[in-house]
Structure 1
Amino acid sequence: MKELGKVNTQIVSLNLNKMPVTDEDLHLVADFPNLRKLNLSFTDITDKDLAQLSKLTQLQQLSISGTKVTETALRQLSSWPALSTVYAWQTQVPATAQAAVQQALGKTRIQWGFNGDTIQMKLNAPIIDNEAQVMTGPIELRLKHFLPGVSIRYTLDGSEPDSIRSPEYKAGTMIHEQGLMKAKAFKAGWMSSDVSSLFFYKNKYQPDTAIALLPPDVSYKGNGAGTIIDNVKADKNFRSGKWLGYKENAMQTLLTFSKPQPVSSVTVSSMIDIASYIMPAMRIEVWGGNHPQQLKLLQTFVPTQPSKEIPSYLEAFELKFQTQTVQYLKLVAVPVSKLPAWHRGKGDKGWFFVDECFIN
């Protein structure tokens, strides 16, 4: 909220529902003079400093459901000039006192809501606190949730976590292998959260150089061929300068090692943005050997193509093969030659985007 203070006069609505807000934070909230809607539901506020918000002379709607606010503080709201609606279900006001409180507030309407014993609220998804996704060794998994008493369950194989079979997250949990981590929050009396997910990449063998045999598009050339071996994961902004984009050319990149390495898998990190014509590759190949002119095909993978337009997402394509000791690897990824009939750009060429390749 201190950051929001820089634009405090521009904010008219503030949603702090289920955030770690306490009485000590209310003096910060009171510095938003044009606030008209404020949601403090399911925070840790009490009666103590609620009166500070009386400075908000434009405030019309206040939500304090699920807090420890009592009848005493609610009665004081009668002096707030613009306040028209208060949402106060599951507060400390007993049902026997609600009519009297409503009468004391006059034209300010109080929504007492319903009995929460029969209604379940949905938990927010766990927060993934890991900054690094690329592992050169074991890495600690960092998950958190702001609501006390929440159990976070996780999986490392891409499957959906459940509240019984999936392990419960504890501080110090380590990840040793590459894979898709999924986490979900559970708490008695609440609906389980949506899934948070993050792919952790393992990179055992770091190439010394990357050589572009065919260049990427000039608009999406990243930092050159070495972009795919710099261990810097990009986000879904394909204009960030961290992606290589291919359309007219296939991706053909030669990776070299200072000495032969026993390689058994290559993971190609890509993104899919169907609305921007960025699709999975039509075909991905890995070639290997100990001389750049004498490489053999190690594996071919044909990604599944989307059947409809969906939001953009990141995708990892892992090609596994029998262990080969090689000093050179050639990666080939062929963009879609014609977008499908259901696509708005049907018949046009598709793009293929890559930010990293990981060798194990």
Structure 2
Amino acid sequence: MKVNIVVLVMLCFFGCAKKDKSPYVQQQDIQLEQPRVKASNTIIDSSVVITSELRMKGVEIFYTSDGSEPSKSSEAYKSALVVSEEGRYKFKAFHPDWKPSTVSELRVYQKGITPLSIDWKTKAHSTYPGLGDSTLVNHQKAELNFRDQQWVGFDTIVKANVHFAKDTYIKSITVGYLVDTKSWIFPPEVVSVIINKTDTVQAKTPKPENKEVLALDDVRILIEKNVESLSVMISNTKELPEWHAGKGLKAWLFMDEWIFN
């Protein structure tokens, strides 16, 4: 009789324990999808429109425009954003019964000055010529797919002389590039700019540490001078890292736009 009572108590205990694992607890372990983010254009002439959505009842989307991580104390997304200033927009979805989403990111850039001409010392690879010599200054950004015709691909150091009207003030140059490690496309190692054949400024970019990175990125170099010419030299990654299938070999460099502001 005592054995039967012990068995009943144990069955009741484990039965109650299973019931405690409610659907709510299970939902808390599941992460929301990223919110979808679109822009009418990522180069701002006068203004662009940014929209975000995640069609699920009870979802709230919050965003930031300075590159910081969104939280519930950030600005709530209620309707389309009309943007006239460049920024790094991040969106994140929240729901009371689910884990918050990962961040969706979108960068928008101020339309820059169009150079008088570019004298290319290095030609793009014949397989990835973009839309010709003016692709990198046509005020168009590319999509993530490296086959987008707004990408120009190089497998060597890039050199070009950029010419402007006399005494054109240039605050900065922004070089947009693609990171697609599975396709052997890596960030530039160094970007060097010689201003008016005298002063040199340069910048390095961070190396990807993950084996599968797919991202749009850029590097900005301050000029802050009146210029007539800029000599630009951009070095591709000369040796792929140890973790990569092509370790020791040089990487591809893909760029979509040089923006002179």
Q: Give 1:134 shift.
A: 0.8
User: C-alpha separation between the residues in 2 aligned to 1:301 and 1:245?
Assistant: 20
User: C-alpha separation between the residues in 1 aligned to 2:68 and 2:140?
Assistant: 26
Work out which of the residue numbers 198, 216, 227 in structure 2 matches 1:326. 227
Structure 1-normalised TM-score?
0.61
Which amino acid in 1 is paired with 2:225? Q
1:291-330 aligned at under 5 Å gives the runs 295-321=197-223, 323-330=224-231
User: C-alpha separation between the residues in 2 aligned to 1:118 and 1:346?
Assistant: 42
Work out which of the residue numbers 66, 69, 72 in structure 2 matches 1:157. 66
User: C-alpha separation between the residues in 2 aligned to 1:355 and 1:118?
Assistant: 43
Aligned equivalent of 1:215: 123
User: C-alpha separation between the residues in 1 aligned to 2:34 and 2:23?
Assistant: 24
User: C-alpha separation between the residues in 1 aligned to 2:178 and 2:105?
Assistant: 15
Matched, 1:277 2:179: no
User: C-alpha separation between the residues in 1 aligned to 2:134 and 2:104?
Assistant: 30
SS at 2:186 equivalent? coil
Consecutive unaligned residues of structure 2, counting only runs of 5 or more, are 1-20
RMSD: 2.3
Assess if the C-alpha contact under 8 Å between 1:283 and 1:335 holds in 2: yes
SS at 1:275 equivalent? helix
Aligned equivalent of 2:248: 347
Q: Give 1:178 shift.
A: 2.6
Q: Would the alpha carbon gap of residues 339 and 187 (structure 1) be closer, same or farther in structure 2, given more than 3 Å must change?
A: closer
User: C-alpha separation between the residues in 1 aligned to 2:210 and 2:72?
Assistant: 32
| Percent identity over paired residues | 28
Alignment: residue pair count: 240
Structure 2-normalised TM-score?
0.82
User: C-alpha separation between the residues in 1 aligned to 2:126 and 2:112?
Assistant: 31
Greater relative contact order structure (CA < 8 Å, 6+ sep)? 2
Assess if the C-alpha contact under 8 Å between 1:277 and 1:351 holds in 2: yes
SS at 2:127 equivalent? helix
Assess if the C-alpha contact under 8 Å between 1:337 and 1:350 holds in 2: yes
Aligned equivalent of 2:95: 187
Aligned equivalent of 1:139: 48
Consecutive unaligned residues of structure 1, counting only runs of 5 or more, are 1-112, 290-294
1:57-96 aligned at under 5 Å gives the runs none
Q: Give 1:308 shift.
A: 4.1
**Runs (4+) off by over 6 Å:** none
Which amino acid in 1 is paired with 2:49? E
Q: Give 1:259 shift.
A: 4.5
Q: Give 1:284 shift.
A: 0.4
